[in-house]
Amino acid sequence: MKAPVRVAVTGAAGQISYSLLFRIASGEMLGKDQPVILQLLEITPALEALKGVAMELEDCAFPLLSGIVQSDDATVAFKDADYALLVGARPRGPGMERKDLLEANAAIFSAQGKALNDVASRNVKVLVVGNPANTNALIAQRNAPDLDPRNFTAMTRLDHNRALSQLANKTESSVNDISHMTIWGNHSSTQYPDLHQVKVSGTPAMDKVEQDWYENDFIPTVQQRGAAIIKARGASSAASAANAAIDHMRDWALGTAEGDWTSMAVYSDGSYGIQEGLIYSFPCTCKDGDWKIVQGVEINNFSREKMTATEQELAEERDAVAHLLP
């Protein structure tokens, strides 16, 4: 058996974590031969609820679960962490403007970035799920000057998976037949789900669907899917978000499928003309625990316009919290 790795999860008593933690502990994220120690962070008022979640984890008697740490102190929860899933965030309260939300989260993610910088493994793989995910990841990254910026990512895998299913339904195929899906940009309604590279059983997706469906049905459906779930369920996506977090981390740690790629919001190195330093979703491949932005994807005018719009939104979010960044 391998030595256990440390997996920190924030917002551990919340609804996404209620699905996520059990799947990490059962080996679905890092493999059925990889023991894990869960290091759970919550705010003080939620520690009692967290205790209940930890009791349930114990009651599963997961063979791979080597330990559980519970804390309201980020320097305890992130100590030597090999993986950190930052799920907890401040939700938008009544009367809160977008700017207030950005600032409230900037405070949380600055503190967590500093704590990661101080105590986490130097190779920690960070996934930010809590919204606004891309900008929260940017804030954490900027507060962790001793860590490689490439260690910080944000989640657009749920959007990617939503796009796969929408296209599979439309083309009456299986998600297994679909490859080369890309979500570009921000995890928000400006994200750009791009079908131009996608293949369905080897045939270009754009040959199988009409432009009108692509522009006026597929793109808005994927962009607005989070809101549609809230409307239907009365609560935001939880199990599907946890599933996407598992997919993101598993691919990063263990590699993407040969001949395909995935979507990850990562530190922009200027690829595709996207401003350096933004946490922007690109097509990525992963191998040996490292990710790479896929190069050479053809960008037509339609795509460029949409990629720029979502880049613009991310630049505005960054500028709105600039006074809080080191």
Query: Residue numbers of the site for ligand NAX (CB under 6 A)?
Result: 10-11, 13-17, 41-43, 46, 87-91, 108, 129-131, 133, 155, 158, 187, 226, 236-238, 241
> Which residue's CB is nearer to ligand NAX, number 158 or number 222?
158
**Residue 137 in marked binding region:** no
Whole-number minimum distance, CB 107 to ligand NAX, in Å? 8
> Which residue's CB is nearer to ligand NAX, number 147 or number 229?
229
Rounded CA-CA distance 62/34 in Å is: 12
Find out whether the peptide bond into 94 is cis, omega within 30 degrees of 0: no
Active site residue 187: yes
Query: Burial of 176 by CB count in 10 Å (0-12 exposed, 13-18 middle, 19+ buried)?
Result: exposed
Residue number with the smallest Cβ distance to ligand NAX: 14
Q: Please tell me whether residue 140 adopts helix, strand or coil conformation.
A: helix
> Which residue's CB is nearer to ligand NAX, number 86 or number 205?
86
- Measured in residues, the chain has a length of 326
Query: Burial of 49 by CB count in 10 Å (0-12 exposed, 13-18 middle, 19+ buried)?
Result: middle
Rounded CA-CA distance 151/128 in Å is: 11
**Residue 191 in marked binding region:** no
Rounded CA-CA distance 249/230 in Å is: 25
**Residue 14 in marked binding region:** yes
> Which residue's CB is nearer to ligand NAX, number 209 or number 278?
278
Whole-number minimum distance, CB 153 to ligand NAX, in Å? 11
**Residue 151 in marked binding region:** no
Active-site pick, 187, 196, 248, 323: 187
Rounded CA-CA distance 141/138 in Å is: 5
Find the distance separating the first CA and the last CA of the chain, reported in whole Å: 42
Rounded CA-CA distance 140/136 in Å is: 6
Whole-number minimum distance, CB 64 to ligand NAX, in Å? 23
**Residue 46 in marked binding region:** no
Whole-number minimum distance, CB 301 to ligand NAX, in Å? 28
**Catalytic machinery residues:** 187
Q: Which residues are annotated as a binding site?
A: 11-17, 92, 98, 105, 112, 129-131, 162
Q: Which residues are annotated as a binding site for NAD(+)?
A: 11-17, 105, 112, 129-131
